[in-house]
Structure formats: structure tokens, C-alpha cells
Structure 1
Amino acid sequence: MEEIVSKLVKRHKTNCPFTIARTLGIHIQFHDLGTNTRGVYYRKLRRRLIVIHNQLSAEWQRFVCAHELGHDRLHRGMSRFFLEEHSYFNPGKFERQANLFAVKLLTSFDEAQSGETSEQICARNGIPVEMHQFY
């Protein structure tokens, strides 16, 4: 995963998930997704789409975009909806991997200072508190 993130950042010269997604041809839309869904990655034929809940804070929107970009890079051909409806496989593993991908991407230009905690690094990079555990 570190190699995938490193190549993305090096190739696009940024760790901004919105810029990377758009450069990769992934369309980004903002819609009301209700109270339980922050974002969705969807692939139909050759069109890729990230939908982000429009009521989220800017910090969460950025994280969700990075998370959904992680699904695009790590889980091609996999659909959470298909997994939940037609298999006994738990999609939680893929969600944790996408969270880890997002944290690695968003902290890719940053190095820990001496004596600095992981929470401080995550806060400095705009990672929501709930996701600090993935650093």
C-alpha cells in the first residue's frame, strides 16, 4: 500500500485526493447521502464515480475522497454492495484498508517531529479524530 501511495503522490506531485481523483478520470459529486453514509465509490462500465455526502465538514469531505480513492486503487472490481448481498465475506476489511490508505495519502508529505504524537500529526494534516487510529 505504501508503494501505491508513494507512486500516486510522486506522479501527481500532490497528496490532494480531489486533484488525484480528477486527474485519474474519476468524477466527484456531492449529494445528500442520508445520516449513515459519508461516501460511495461506484464503477459502472468504464466510468468511475466518487459521491461524497454534501453535509460533511471540509475535513471529512477530504478524508472521504481519499478513502474512496483507496477503494479505486486497492479494490478494483470489488463492490461492497455485491459482497454484502451475495456473499458471506465481511467488507469491513476493505473499509479498514481504505481508511489506512486515506491516512497514508493525507500524511504523505509530512514527517513526525521529535516528541510529536500520532494524534498531533493527524490533526496537523486534517485527519478526523475518529481516523487517528489508522496512522
Structure 2
Amino acid sequence: MEWIDNIIAGLLETYETNDPYELCDYLRIKIIKLEPNNILLRDKDAFYCRDLENNEVIFIKDNLNKILEKFILLHELGHALCNPDLLSAAFTFCNKGKTEKQANYFALKLSGVMFDETELQGMTLKQISAYTGIPYRALMQLFLK
């Protein structure tokens, strides 16, 4: 996914940060926190949406821990930047598995999380998820073919 690496390199060069709050601010993507049972979330942690006038919003649960919240914001930012033709990552008929994998890859790479193979030796993906704060589903998509 070299093209995603290029997007990330451009972001880091231009904005000199990998912080999702700062990046959303620079890119004029609003972050709106919602109660977990809000119908807009449709049982998801978050979703990205762009309207017909190109206003962009990430709706996210207001009860996530900070590590998970940052990863999820990076994931949704990945939808915004890697699939700019999508109006919404939640309500689309495109190849959902492919766009989710791209957004997870984007979030993982931009987060700067480094995996120390020695430290993680013998751990399951669930244990690695708990250790790093990266959602289990994201790790599954990225590391299990």
C-alpha cells in the first residue's frame, strides 16, 4: 500500500504531526462526539461523513478511552483521505472490506505504533490488541490473510 504511505508522508511533511485532532483541525474535518446509543452511530464506534458541499465530519462515541479514540479517529481520517470519492464510510456500496483494511493500515502507520517482535513473542492478536490499544478487528484485517 505504497500509495497510502505517500499520503502519510505528505501529511507528516506538511503538518508535522500525526495527532488526529490536529490533523482534523488542519483539514477542516469536524469531530462530533455522540452518546454511544445515538442512532447515527448504528452500533459502531465512529463513522466519517462528507456532505454534498464537502463539509466533513467524524462522528465518534463519547465514552472511548483516549488510546482507542485516537486510533479510531486516525481510521476515519484514513477513510477521508484514502477514499475521497466516498460520501460516507458507513453507508456505502463499495468494497467495504478493502476500504476498511486501507483505513486500518492508514491508522496503524500514521499512529507510529512500532511492534517489538521480542516483546510480542507468543502473544495472541487479542493480547497484542490489549497491549497496544489497537482494536482487535483492525489487527485481524491487517495481519491475517
Instruction: Give the structure-2-normalised TM-score.
Output: 0.72
Letter in structure 2 aligned against 1:69: L
Instruction: Give 3-state SS (helix, strand or coil) of 2:63's partner.
Output: coil
TM-superposed deviation, 1:53: 0.8
Match of 1:95 in 2: 100
Match of 1:58 among 58, 66, 80: 66
Q: Distance in 1 between matches of 2:18 and 2:130?
A: 16
Amino acid corresponding to residue 20 of structure 2 in structure 1: P
Which residue number in structure 1 is paired with residue 92 of structure 2?
83
For 2:16 and 2:133, the matched residues in 1 are separated by: 19
Identity fraction in percent: 30
1:43-79: CA deviation from partner (whole Å, max 9, x where unpaired):
0112111111112111111111100100110111213
Aligned 8 A contact 1:106 1:125 in 2 = no
Instruction: Give matches, 1:10-25, under 5 Å.
Output: 10-25=13-28
CA distance in 1, matches of 2:31, 2:91: 22
2:48 aligned residue (37, 41, 48): 41
Q: Which residue of 2 aligns with 1:127?
A: 134
How far the C-alpha of 1:82 sits from its partner, in A, is: 4.6
CA deviation after TM superposition for structure 1 residue 10, in Å:
1.7
> Which segment drifts farther, 66-75 or 123-132?
123-132
The one-letter amino acid paired with 1:127 is I
CA distance in 2, matches of 1:125, 1:81: 26
Instruction: Name structure 1 gaps, 5 residues minimum.
Output: none
Superimposed CA distance per residue, residues 85-128 of structure 1 (whole angstroms, 9 cap, x where no aligned partner):
xxxx4412111111111001101xx6566845498x98786534
Please give the per-residue CA displacement for 1:3-28, whole angstroms capped at 9, x wherever unaligned.
11111112111111111111111111
Residue type of the partner of 2:92? L
Secondary structure of 2:80's partner? helix
Please give the TM-score of this superposition, normalised by the length of structure 1: 0.77
Alpha-carbon distance, 1:83 to partner: 2.8
Secondary structure of the 1:83 match is coil
Q: 2:11 aligns with which of 8, 25, 37?
A: 8
The number of residue pairs the alignment matches comes to 129
